[in-house]
């Protein structure tokens, strides 16, 4: 077939090449590429039969599983926009994204459907009569022939809400072009990031761009087999790697940190060909420990939601170095710039600025904040290159906090805590954490005569925020440091922390 124009074309291509080959394994269930293609086509037809029009947003509130993959590719096949929703979010957080995106429909698991019940969008739960009608309305062999209906190329495929440093999350608009470009870029790397014969562990959340495109997308791109896990449990997932003869792990630091502490890690990774890590820095001692016990090096990389997501990987380095995020992948240009927009001198840190076909087209709904007129996008991350050209992250221009690879921005946490009647002022920063990379710490100034405890604040935040956004440490202080213009001096808070 011709080069894919729509991300769902990857399923059609894999099915045409190897229809009987296992596409996804989830517990006792296995679907072949041919079966997945049929399910995707049927769902796409069902969505269009409901009167959804090209570009309409459809929320996906589903755990990792065959239904997620079917829904994701089916939504794209119908020319709609997929809105993956974080299954750890509260109803309020999900409600905001559904309202802001104007989603008209949510496909949800039965256990999670209630989180979207208060939104204007219609909710269809997997296993319900409405779901059965949706996936079976036109029969298993249903197809969507209209190119206009299917969309692709510069049409928005996925709307992923990501965090900045102020205000609410913003929806990054990723086109079919951007998602497919990143997969094509990754496919040019040797050794192959994912090979056709690989069995790929898909335990990273598919609502996150890393699991969605670098994991599920790359599996479909080469027609490999994905081994799905709903959640990460160190013992269970390591057992799954061994039982399913997983050869490729697309992972994140907390996974490798946990596995490095287990006794059977060497025996369980016998089938492994390649392990990669992204979304947050991987502690060098963990890299060394896994190399010593299993003989496998974990290759680190760097990326963003806005870059679909991969920008660099140590697979592109001559020799992978602990703590290094490697070099730009093929097709991605990268500069390190100072605050005047000029390239830094050799050995000096600079903000990472990137250009490539994998870049997003701006933030929902009007494309603001996207690449500049020359195609460059400022990431807000600061790195330094060594003499070999290998990159090392050193700081962030933004105040973004990365908890297990998930973005947390201080303003949202501060807004939640400020609602507490005993809180006069609050400031939130990220502090190092041995397991999650970073964790959230809050400095709270109480109102006069109030005596809130750290537990009071944490419990209050937990009712309003996803668990990973909640502070794990709260310090009650008499006042916060401020700059001359009245802004909280978070640099001084970091020093004290």
**What's the pLDDT score for residue 405?**
81
CA–CA dist 446, 453 (Å, integer): 10
Pair 405, 378 in one domain: no
CATH number, residue 467: 3.30.300.30
Q: Is 117 helix (H, G, I), strand (E, B) or coil?
A: coil
Average the pLDDT over each of 23-37, 228-242, 283-297, 467-481 and give the range with the smallest value: 283-297
Domain-located, residue 93: yes
159-216 pLDDT tens trace: 999 864 445 789 999 999 999 999 999 999 998 999 999 999 999 999 999 999 999 9
Pair 378, 406 in one domain: no
**What's the pLDDT score for residue 356?**
98
52-66 pLDDT tens trace: 999 999 999 999 999
Domain-located, residue 430: yes
**What's the pLDDT score for residue 489?**
76
Q: What value does the mean pLDDT take over residues 102-122?
A: 96
**What's the pLDDT score for residue 285?**
84
Pair 143, 232 in one domain: yes
Contact between residue 304 and residue 379 where contact means Cβ atoms under 8 Å apart? yes
Average the pLDDT over each of 72-81, 87-96, 140-149, 196-205 and give the range with the smallest value: 140-149
Pair 271, 345 in one domain: yes
Please report which confidence band the pLDDT of residue 138 belongs to, taking 50, 70 and 90 as the band edges: low
Domain-located, residue 161: yes
224-257 pLDDT tens trace: 999 999 999 999 999 999 999 999 999 988 899 8
Does a cis peptide bond (omega within 30 degrees of 0) precede residue 309? yes
Pair 316, 439 in one domain: no
Please report which confidence band the pLDDT of residue 406 belongs to, taking 50, 70 and 90 as the band edges: confident
**What's the pLDDT score for residue 140?**
41
Pair 425, 298 in one domain: no
pLDDT over 70 (residue 432):
yes
Question: What's the sign of the alpha-carbon dihedral 72, 76, 78, 80?
Answer: positive
Closest CA to 360 of 194, 158, 205: 158
Contact between residue 360 and residue 308 where contact means Cβ atoms under 8 Å apart? yes
**What's the pLDDT score for residue 490?**
82
Closest CA to 96 of 69, 119, 129, 123: 119
pLDDT over 70 (residue 398):
no
Domain-located, residue 480: yes
CATH number, residue 321: 3.40.50.12780
Pair 378, 405 in one domain: no
Domain-located, residue 394: no
Domain finish residue from 351, 382, 413: 382
Pair 61, 193 in one domain: yes
Strand partners, 423: 446
Domain-located, residue 108: yes
Q: 239-245 — which CB contacts under 8 Å span 24+ positions?
A: 239/268, 240/201, 241/201, 241/268, 241/269, 241/271, 241/272, 242/267, 242/268, 242/269, 242/270, 242/271, 244/25, 244/199, 245/199, 245/271
Q: Residue 488 sits in which domain range?
A: 401-496
- Render 443-471 in DSSP notation, one character per residue: EEEEPTT----HHHHHHHHHTTS-GGGS-
For 223, how many CA atoms within 13 A lie in the half-sphere containing its CB?
A: 16
- Work out the percent of the chain whose per-residue pLDDT is above 70: 94
Pair 177, 288 in one domain: yes
pLDDT over 80 (residue 18):
yes
Pair 223, 340 in one domain: yes
Contact between residue 183 and residue 175 where contact means Cβ atoms under 8 Å apart? no
- Render 121-187 in DSSP notation, one character per residue: SEEEETTSHHHHHHHHTT-TT-----HHHH--TTSEEEEEEE--SSSS-EEEEEEHHHHHHHHHHHH
Domain finish residue from 347, 382, 417: 382
Number of domains in the chain: 2
Domain-located, residue 352: yes
Pair 59, 134 in one domain: yes
pLDDT over 80 (residue 487):
no
CA–CA dist 339, 323 (Å, integer): 25
Domain-located, residue 226: yes
Place of tokens 């070099």: 327
Tokens describing residue 179: 């998602």
Residues ≥6 apart with Cβ < 8 Å to 81? 55, 56, 57, 58, 75, 156, 157, 158, 159
**What's the pLDDT score for residue 483?**
55
Q: Residue 28 carries which DSSP code? A: T
**What's the pLDDT score for residue 378?**
95
**What's the pLDDT score for residue 147?**
41
314-357 pLDDT tens trace: 999 999 998 899 999 999 999 999 878 999 999 988 999 999 99
Domain finish residue from 315, 349, 382: 382
Please report which confidence band the pLDDT of residue 305 belongs to, taking 50, 70 and 90 as the band edges: very high
Pair 486, 366 in one domain: no
Which value, to the nearest 10 degrees, does the dihedral of the CA atoms of residues 90, 171, 405, 349 take?
A: -140
Closest CA to 441 of 458, 466, 425, 424: 458
Q: What value does the mean pLDDT take over residues 354-366?
A: 98
Please report which confidence band the pLDDT of residue 76 belongs to, taking 50, 70 and 90 as the band edges: very high
């Amino acid at each position: 077939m011709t080069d894919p124009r729509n991300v769902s074309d990857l399923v059609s291509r894999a099915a045409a090449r190897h229809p009987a080959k296992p596409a996804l394994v989830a517990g006792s269930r296995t679907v072949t590429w041919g079966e997945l293609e049929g399910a995707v086509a049927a769902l796409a037809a069902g969505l269009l039969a409901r009167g959804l029009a090209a570009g309409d947003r459809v929320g996906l509130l589903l755990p990792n599983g065959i239904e997620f993959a079917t829904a994701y590719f089916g939504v794209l096949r119908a020319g709609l926009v997929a809105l993956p929703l974080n299954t750890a979010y509260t109803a309020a957080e999900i409600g905001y994204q559904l309202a802001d995106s104007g989603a008209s429909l949510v496909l949800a698991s039965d256990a999670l459907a209630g989180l979207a019940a208060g939104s204007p969008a219609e909710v269809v739960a997997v296993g319900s009569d409405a779901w059965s009608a949706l996936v079976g309305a036109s029969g298993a062999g249903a197809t969507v022939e209209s190119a206009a209906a299917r969309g692709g190329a510069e049409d928005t495929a996925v709307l992923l809400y990501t965090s900045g440093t102020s205000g609410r999350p913003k929806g990054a608009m990723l086109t079919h072009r951007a998602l497919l470009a990143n997969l094509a870029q990754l496919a040019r790397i040797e050794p192959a990031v994912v090979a056709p014969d690989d069995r790929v562990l898909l335990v990273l959340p598919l609502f996150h761009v890393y699991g969605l495109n670098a994991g599920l997308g790359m599996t479909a791109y080469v027609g490999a087999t994905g081994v799905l896990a709903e959640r990460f449990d160190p013992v269970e997932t390591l057992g799954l790697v061994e039982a399913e003869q997983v050869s490729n792990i697309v992972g994140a630091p907390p996974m490798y940190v946990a596995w490095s502490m287990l006794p059977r890690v060497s025996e369980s990774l016998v089938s492994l060909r390649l392990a990669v890590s992204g979304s947050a820095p991987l502690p060098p001692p963990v890299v060394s420990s896994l190399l010593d016990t299993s003989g496998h090096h974990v290759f680190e990389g760097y990326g963003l939601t806005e870059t679909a997501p991969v920008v660099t990987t140590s697979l592109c380095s001559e020799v992978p170095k602990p703590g290094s995020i490697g070099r730009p992948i093929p097709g991605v240009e990268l500069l390190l710039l100072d605050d005047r927009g000029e390239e830094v001198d050799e050995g000096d840190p600079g903000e990472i600025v990137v250009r490539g076909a994998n870049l997003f087209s701006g933030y929902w709904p009007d494309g603001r904040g996207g690449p500049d007129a020359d195609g460059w996008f400022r990431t807000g991350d600061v790195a330094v290159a060594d003499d070999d050209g290998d990159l090392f992250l050193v700081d962030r221009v933004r105040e973004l906090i990365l908890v297990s690879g998930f973005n947390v921005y201080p303003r949202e946490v501060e807004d939640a805590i400020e609602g507490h009647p005993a809180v006069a002022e609050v400031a939130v920063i990220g502090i190092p954490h041995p397991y999650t990379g970073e964790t959230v710490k809050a400095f709270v100034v109480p109102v006069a005569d109030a005596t809130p405890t750290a537990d009071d604040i944490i419990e209050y935040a937990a009712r309003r925020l996803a668990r990973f956004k909640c502070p794990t440490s709260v310090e009650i202080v008499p006042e916060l440091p401020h700059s001359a213009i009245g802004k909280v001096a978070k640099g001084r808070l970091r020093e004290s922390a």
